[in-house]
Structures are given as C-alpha cells and as structure tokens.
Chains A and B, each alone.
Chain A
Amino acid sequence: MTNTIKQIFHSPKFVVGFCIMAFILLSMIIYPLVNPGNPLEMIGLGSFQKPGTYVSLYDSIDSSSTIFKLPDAENNRISQKLKDEDRIAIMNWLIDYGVSESDINLSDTNSLLDLWWKNYDSSILVEGMTKAKRNYYMRLNKSLESAKRTEEYVVSHTDKELNELETVRTIENTDYVNIQDVANVKRLPLGTDNFGRDVLKELVSACGTSLRIGLIAGAIATLIGLTFGLLAGYVGGIVDDIIMFITNIFTVIPSFVLLLLISYSIGQDQRGASTIALVIGFTSWVWTARAVRAQVISLRKRDHVNLSKLSGHSLIRIIITDILPYIASYVVMAFILQISTAILAEAQLSMLGLGPKTTEVPTLGLMMNWSMLYAAHLNGSWWAYFPVLLTIALISFSLNLMNTGLDQVFNPTLRD
C-alpha cells in the first residue's frame, strides 16, 4: 500500500494534476477567509467593471496629500487619454494636412503631440473631410487640452444656510494621496460581472459548488455503475440480462439529452445544486457499469474466487473481498473521470439555462451562462468568462492528468 502510494507520487503526470487540484482546493479554503462575505453580493452599480484597484474618490479628498514633482506626470496624463484609435486619427489628420509620414512616430507620444499642437487649428479646413470628422477632431483637441491644463481643481460643498459654495480644498496636479490613507479601497483582481459582483469571489465560491456537484454526481454514478457492474458481472445469468438491458437502454439514449429533459421537467424552482448533482449522477453511470462488468467477468473465473467459494464464503463477501480489491484502482480512476465529466455536464447544462436556480449559489456553469446572456464576449469583458473557462479547463485537466498518472501506475503496460 505504502509502496503503491509512493509509486503514484513518482508519476509526473499525477503529481502535476495533484498540484493543480491542491492549488484550486487551497484557494477555495483560504480565499473566503481573507475575503469573507456573500459571493453573490452586488457591490458595483453598473456591469462589467474592469479588473483593478478602485480607490474611493470621496475619501481621497479628505485624505492628507503630499507633493510629488514627477517629470512624466503630464505625459502620462495625456497618454492615458490618448487611445490607440486617437493616435491613428491624429496621424491621419497630420498626413492630410501635409506633414510627411516619415516625420510621424506613433509610439512617441511627445513628438506626436508636439506636431499636433504645432499644426492643428480647428479653423483649418482639410480637403475632403466631413463635418462629423471635423467635430471629432475638435472634441479630441479639447480633451487633450484639458489633460494639458495645469490649473488646480477646486472641491467645494454647498452651505445650505447661506446657500453658497464653500471651498473645501484645492487639488493641484502635483498632489498625491497615499492609497493606504484612503479609507475605502476595493481591489477587484477580476473586476465585476454583469450584476456588479466580485468575479474572483464568485469564481472561488463557484469552484467549490461545482466540485461539490462533481463529487456528489461522481459518487452516485460510480456507486450505481459499480453495483450494477459487480452484480451483472459476478452473478451473471438473468441478473446480467436485466442489468444489461437497462444499461443498453441508457446507452442508446444520449445521456446529455436525458439530462436536458430531466432538468427541464424538474422546473427552475426545484433545481438546486444538489438536485442537479443527483440528476447528473443518475444519468452518467452507464459506462462505469459496462467497464466494471467486463472486469468482473474476467475476474470471476479466477482460481482465487473459486477457492473463496470452496471456503464457503457468501456472495457478498466474495464480491467485497475477492473482486472489489482487484478492481479498486480502476474504480478510483473511473470516479475521478466521473467527477470531471460531472463538472463539465453541469457547465453545459447551466450554459443552456438548465442548471441550478440562479439566485442561491454560483457555479462555474452559471457564471458562463450569465456572462453569455449579458454578452460579455461581445463587449470585451474577458474577465467575466475567461477565468471561468480557464478554471473549468484546469479542473478537468488536473483530474484527467491524475487519472492518466494512476492508470500508468496500475497498468504497467501503459508506462512510457
């Protein structure tokens, strides 16, 4: 036993898969401790807020400031406003105006803006330019000029008694606030989703739910498959015929279609994560049953089973002590694959809107469903679906890798 475990942990494939899974599990345990709270809490008003650190503007006004004279500050301020399409538009205007293309360097913000300030005049009419385009350039110029401005901002609040504005403070362009002095800072490494919920927190919670669904469904599928396979393979005869008849019926009906129909007929209100896990488990045991049956048929004729019969052991005892240990490694592998298949099945179901009801728990499939419904893929909000996809892929990859690793340990003919 110890030797087998040693062998398992010497298999590089198993170790890689195990490390990925351990990382996912550890994140699931540690992250909620660091960042507690309801994962489905809508913290942001607005959808698909970008990943990053959000600093409270309100609190930063009250925070003590310090002065930094940074040489790149102005350039950075302008560069932030200057999008790639604006740079191209500037270049096009300059070329149309008559500046040689070789003098323009798109990546050098300073030289590009120098050329712009030197040449642009809203009164100049470039030949062939539409009015809309001219207005665009006027707006762009205004935005760039505002970025160039050096005057301070004045923050004031209304004194209701006197009904006049009272200056609270003035903000210079050299004023800086230490982020630690700001009372409210929200770090959203993966931004927010369509409902303004923290995607990372949701993802960690969804991972847990999906793995739980996988475990329940995998355990049910393996248990049914194992029981049917053992009985059909060992007892044989009419029992085998009946079980194989049921198995064949399940084999010819595509299990995913069955899953869809059952999920649909249960109804949205009844569909919790556990119900979905049960439904997946009850529809995916077929191949385990067939595979276990095949293994048991080859085992039941072995002499050690005959010897056990001659020793007067009961059917249950023979199955438990003389058959089960021989197929245990296979069953473990089947279980791992079942978990992976169940997680994928949940994701597929939820993407089609037939997953667990959407108000209670997040699952990986539901997150995909939400981001798809709110067109995250069309508006470029990659953070709402890509991390989910990656997590599904990583879970599935790690489980399959562990399975292959185990297969190589238990089945030496497969070793590299």
Chain B
Amino acid sequence: MTKTGNNEIYSTEEKALCLSGKGVTKVFGSGDKKCIAVNNVNFKFHEGEFVSIVGESGSGKTTLSKILLGLLNPTDGEIFFKGEPRDISSIKKRKEYWKGTQAIFQDPFSSFNIFNKIDTVLLDCLKMRGVKRSDKQEQVRLMTEACNFVNLKFAELTNKYPFELSGGQMQRLMIARIFLLKPKILIADEPTSMIDACSRATILDMLLKLREEIGMTIIFITHDIGLAYYISDSVYIMEHGKIVESGLADEVILNPKAAYTKRLINDVPKIHEAWDLDTV
C-alpha cells in the first residue's frame, strides 16, 4: 500500500473544526478502584480529516472513541461539535447527533445482533435517512447500491443472518451501513484488527473511497502506528489516557519526539531488518 495521507496538500487551517475537546477526562470507579481511562485530553478534528488515535491496549483509545460517539459521558472537560459545545442531553438530540456521527467497531462478530437479519440492519439505516417504509423499490435499490459499493451481493445476503457471513464480509457490511447513512464523522475503532491482511487492505480502501465520496472525517483508532502513518493526515499518540504527542502524521512518525512514540515505531517489525524485541 502506498501512503495515502495527503500531508503535502492537506492543511488543517483551511478546514473547519468538526469535533474538538478540551480537558476531556473519564474516570471509572472511585476510591482504591479508581481508574483514569482518559486524562485531560485536548484534540481538534477537522472536516474531511483522517485522524488516527494510536496507542497500545489500555491506553484509553476505545474509551475516548465512546466519549466521541456520545455513548459515554466524560467525567470532566467539554466536547465541541462544529465549534459549539456538544449537547446530547436529550434522546432527540442524541438521535440527531448520531445521524451525523457513526462508528465501525473492532469485532465484526459482536457488532451485529445475531437475531436480526441483514436486511433489518440495512433497513434501520434507511429509516434513519428518512426513506419511506412503503417505498420497497427505493429501499432495495439503495441496499443493492450499498452492497455493491462494498463488493457484496444484496441478493445473496437478503434473508441471511450476520453470523452466516465471514468476518471480512461482516466488516464490509458495516461499511455498507456507513455508505447508506453518509455521516459527517466516522469513528472506526480498530476496524481491521480482527481480520486478515487481504481483507484489511480492502476495507481500508473502501473507507478511503467513502471519505472521498462523502467528505467525512474519519477518526481511526488503532494500535498499529505503521498503518496510521500510511493512511492518516494527522495522528494522536495516547499513553495511559494522555495524549503524549500529536500533529501531522509525517511530522509525528518520521520525527517522533516523545519516547513512547519512538517505542511504538520501534515495535513495528520491518522486513529485511533485525527486530529489536527488547522494547516489546
């Protein structure tokens, strides 16, 4: 894969802010069992930007992604949506927010309700988009279009259950869902970590195509700094709930300043080079 992050021509100054946070903190438990999952984090994500949040397991990436999605409330700090403080206090406002902010989860096998057919998953998206229930033809057309986009055949999927598909197919179905919803922000929480390398390339390719088509912001959560370098415009490095380094992908990864970033880069195995396992 060639590097797709477009740092040379990409400038964050030109783009409007879509999601930003100031002093975002999330604490679980209290007393002796207190755990600070996200610790005073500041970030600025711009429209159309491909941002990677990189860190090892337990660094707070997934918690941050859930806060961004509005599935968790931060203990402290504030999130801004399009420059304004984000208000998702009521069910109605939350629903509105989720029309523009969607997610792809890490484990395709647990992402779908195994009791619902694939059609139900896609029809839910159409309902959210406001497609009339009675307009069956339009529904089938849109679902077929979405499936074609992710190289799946709707005719073969209809009336099937998600567990009848492979992991790669399920994750592609997830992207078909995003294709139908066309959100402004997509939070992808390690979407490729549980699938094979070939499917990974396909899925990343689809995500990038989708970004071009819809112009959405992708917040990509990963532990793979190498992958982040190839696909991101900017990266945020997280360690123990804190952001230790952030900036344009080229700057941060080719010229790392924080020791943790250096370690992460060193941990990526390089073909034709000896791999220093001491730091792993």
Contacts and interface: CB of A to CB of B under 8 A. Distances in A.
Q: Is A bound to B?
A: yes
Contact of A309 (B98, B99, B107, B125): B98
Given A303-B111, A306-B71, A312 B128 contact: yes
A312 B102 CA distance: 11
Interface stretch (B33-41, B112-120, B140-148, B259-267): B112-120
A55 B244 CA distance: 99
A302 B110 contact: yes
A154 to B, nearest CB: 83
Contacts of B103: 306-307, 310
Nearest to A1: B115
B187 to A, nearest CB: 10
Contacts of B113: 304, 307-308, 321-322, 325
Select the residue from B95, B103, B113, B116 with max chain A CB neighbours within 10 A: B113
B95 A303 contact: no
A311 interface: yes
Given A321-B116, A322-B113, A310 B102 contact: yes
B164 interface: no
A303 B71 contact: no
B87 interface: no
Nearest to A324: B115
A303 B69 contact: no
Contacts of A304: 110-114
Interface in A291-322: 302-304, 306-314, 321-322
B110 A311 contact: no
Contacts of B114: 304
Contact of B115 (A303, A310, A312, A325): A325
B179 to A, nearest CB: 15
Contacts, number: 48
Contacts of A310: 69, 71, 98, 101-103
Nearest to B92: A312
B interface bracket (residues with beta carbon within 8 Å of A): 20 to 34
A interface bracket (residues with beta carbon within 8 Å of B): 10 to 19
A311 B107 contact: no
B128 A311 contact: yes
Contacts of A306: 66, 69, 71, 103, 105
Contacts of B128: 311-312
A311 B114 CA distance: 16
Given A312-B128, A321-B116, A325-B115, A307 B98 contact: no
Contacts of B116: 321
B124 interface: yes
A177 to B, nearest CB: 69
A118 B103 CA distance: 106
Contacts of A308: 113
A156 to B, nearest CB: 83
Nearest to A307: B111
A332 to B, nearest CB: 15
Contact of A321 (B66, B106, B112, B115): B115
Contacts of B125: 311
Select the residue from B106, B115, B116, B125 with max chain A CB neighbours within 10 A: B115
Contact of B124 (A302, A303, A311, A314): A311
A314 to B, nearest CB: 8
B100 to A, nearest CB: 11
Contacts of A309: 71, 98
B143 to A, nearest CB: 15
Contact of A312 (B66, B71, B98, B111): B98
Contacts of B111: 303-304, 307
Contact of B112 (A307, A313, A314): A307
Contacts of A312: 95, 98-99, 124, 128
A310 B102 CA distance: 7
A1 to B, nearest CB: 10
Interface of B: 66, 69, 71, 91, 95, 98-99, 101-103, 105-107, 110-116, 124-125, 128
Please list the 3 inter-chain residue pairs (A to B) with the smallest Cβ-Cβ separation, ordered nearest first. A303-B105, A325-B115, A312-B95
15 contacts: A303-B106, A303-B107, A303-B111, A306-B66, A306-B103, A306-B105, A307-B112, A310-B102, A311-B124, A311-B125, A311-B128, A312-B95, A312-B99, A313-B124, A314-B91
Given A303-B105, A303-B111, A322-B113, 16 more contacts: A303-B107, A304-B111, A304-B113, A304-B114, A306-B69, A306-B103, A306-B105, A309-B71, A310-B71, A312-B99, A312-B128, A313-B124, A314-B91, A321-B113, A321-B115, A325-B113
